[in-house]
Amino acid sequence: MRTGVVLLAAGLCLLNVTSSLKICAFNIQSYGEAKANNQKVMGILIKILSRCDLCLIQEVRDSKGAAIQTLVKDLNSRLDKSNPYSYLESERLGRKSYKEQYVYIYRSNVLKVKEVYQYPKLDEGTNETDVFSREPFIVRFHSPTTLVKDFVLIGQHTSPKTAMKEIDKLYTVFTGMYKKWKTDNVMILGDLNAGCSYVTIKGWRAVRLRSDPRFLWLIGDDQDTTVRKKTHCAYDRIVVHGREIISSVVPGSAQPFNFKEDFHLTEEEALEVSDHFPVEVDLKPNHRYLLRHEL
């Protein structure tokens, strides 16, 4: 028995410290051909995204689709070939001529896509136009290397003017996905515009995603997910629901990633990349699985 414990401890010491799974959400602010053709910006984006095993990118504004292909190609060409990235992109979404896409970039050697669902423009219950400016893009992942094996990501970028209505509506999205896929291990993430002038204390009380204690908001109201020094707003959020996924969160790992400070950039240089910082969280590894497959 003692020998087994010693071997387990020795094995764990040999495991890479990054064996936890890092999930990120990043509003790259009008990511398209201009940024894809800017080598300096792309170099910074690669450094940011390579920290993540799974990242929801928002504000992809390229109708040709070439900018994301360039990003993933560059990401894979500069990194360890044994950890390749794949991607999933949503429809081009928006009520008028302004359109955006959601894109999930993920390490295909550690994550498998089980199901994909684009939330419809018409509310399935009433057949009326829903409140979302850009309907959620929803993916169910299988993750054998983490304690929680299956989880659902609901990606959302709200419109500032209707942020509170959209955040509240995400509760309806959650309940619908629970019925559809029979799992309550869900992470809602993205630029929810959930801060500063776009939300009110009184309004929060009516937001079901906020008032229901089963939902854990990992990025606090006092956090700053904005690049500009003159702003301090928790626009970008990560919200989790479900016993397994909540217990799998690495304590203290949920935070904005201040790439301006970390990469020693001026505010002007950072703003060339985005006016948002990514938000991120780590999920605990399944050490027994990793030992079986790495030792």
Known catalytic residues? 100, 157
Distances (CA, A) of 265 to 44, 179, 227: 10, 46, 11
- Pairing type for strands 137-142 and 112-118 reads antiparallel
Is residue 163 helix, strand or coil? helix
Maximum separation of any 2 CA atoms in the chain, in Å: 66
Among candidate residues 141, 136, 92, 94, the one with its CA nearest the CA of residue 117 = 136
Helix and strand element counts for the chain (H, E):
11, 12
> CA 224, 283, 252, 295: dihedral to nearest 10 degrees?
-130
Rounded CA gap, 93 and 118, in Å?
Answer: 10
Is residue 188 helix, strand or coil? strand
For CA atoms 75, 153, 133, 229, the dihedral sign is negative
Backbone φ, ψ for residue 108 (5° rounding): -75, -10
Surface-to-core class of residue 170, CB atoms within 10 Å of its CB (0-12 exposed, 13-18 middle, 19+ buried): buried
Rounded CA gap, 239 and 154, in Å?
Answer: 10
279 DSSP β-pair partners: 25, 256
142 CA to centre of own chain? 16
